[in-house]
Amino acid sequence: MARPVVGIIGNSHLINDEYPTHAGGTMNSRAVAQVSGCLPLIVPADPGLVTVEELLETCDGFLLTGGRPNVHPEEYGEPATAAHGDFDRGRDAITLPLVRACVERGQPFLGVCRGFQEVNVALGGTLHPEIRDLPGRDNHRMPPDGTLEEKFALRHVVTLAEGGPFHRLFGAAQVLTNTLHGQGIKTAGARIVIDGHAPDGTPEAIYVEGAPGFTLSVQWHPEWNAANDPVSRPLFCAFGDAVRAYAAGRRGFRRSA
């Protein structure tokens, strides 16, 4: 039987600062294929090339990836400043309505870093442009130097709500994660439940209350070492199970129709 398809949201990227591409990190594809057990499909997040409706019919679930560009602050009613960094308006135009449609349909998605922020904005939330500038907050950005192993090293604890979905999934009320982000949740969107926090209070784990499908999203990068990390592996396994269940239900509906 064919594996269910996970659309991996790609990012606009210039090779050698001149050749435009739609790119996705290899670690995303490996996590989806080797841990979730699904077929990874990189999505060119450009409304001139794909529609949300086509993606919903083609894919069984979605990995909302991290990326250097941030959600444009116009999407949550604030003016753009230099602190907001770079933007990808094509990705905004695809992912924000895609999140809302998935919530409505019960179609699974896993949000990671920028994807975590997209989920919050899609449901009406807002973002801080730069976490490290806030009083009492830590610098959550990627370390500027070192190997990939050093940049993705585990750097802080995330404390999870007792009895919440992340606590149940990980079997622990605290987990150790990496951290590679500049922005973060300012106000939670409608139905967004903040289920985990960093030691400085930064939201790190969310889900959509009452959603019929898988909506777990995290501010860290679980795709790094997903097959071996004791936090990343159960997250991607649970996501894969949800995608398979959705795909099986959809196949059953089509046969009966």
Binned at pLDDT 50, 70 and 90, residue 123 comes out as very high
pLDDT of residue 185: 97
Low-confidence winner among 59-68, 114-123, 142-151 (lowest mean pLDDT): 142-151
Whether 79 shows a pLDDT value over 90: the answer reads no
Over residues 217-255, the pLDDT tens digits come to: 999 999 999 999 999 999 999 999 999 999 999 876 555
Cα→Cα distances 226→21, 29, 105, 205, 231, Å? 25, 11, 27, 17, 8
The answer to whether 113 is a known catalytic residue is yes
d(CA 115, CA 99): 10
Q: What is the DSSP string of 185-224?
A: EEEPPTTEEEEEE-TTS-EEEEEETT-SS---EESS-TTT
The token duo for 234 is 């159960």
**CATH numbers and ranges of domains, the chain:** 5-256 (3.40.50.880)
From the list 113, 130, 167, 204, the catalytic residue is 113
Percent of the chain with pLDDT over 90: 78
Q: How far is 206 from 103, CA to CA, in rounded Å?
A: 14
Output the pLDDT for position 254. Answer: 58
Model confidence, pTM: 0.95
75 is catalytic: no
| Angstrom distance (rounded) from CA 20 to CA 91 | 15
Report pLDDT digits (tens) over 135-157. Answer: 999 889 888 888 999 889 899 99
In the chain, count of helices (H) and strands (E)? 7, 13
The string of pLDDT tens digits covering residues 154-192 is 999 999 999 999 999 999 999 999 999 989 999 999 999
Active-site residue flag, 162: no
66, 80, 89, 124 from 46: Cα distances, Å: 16, 21, 8, 22
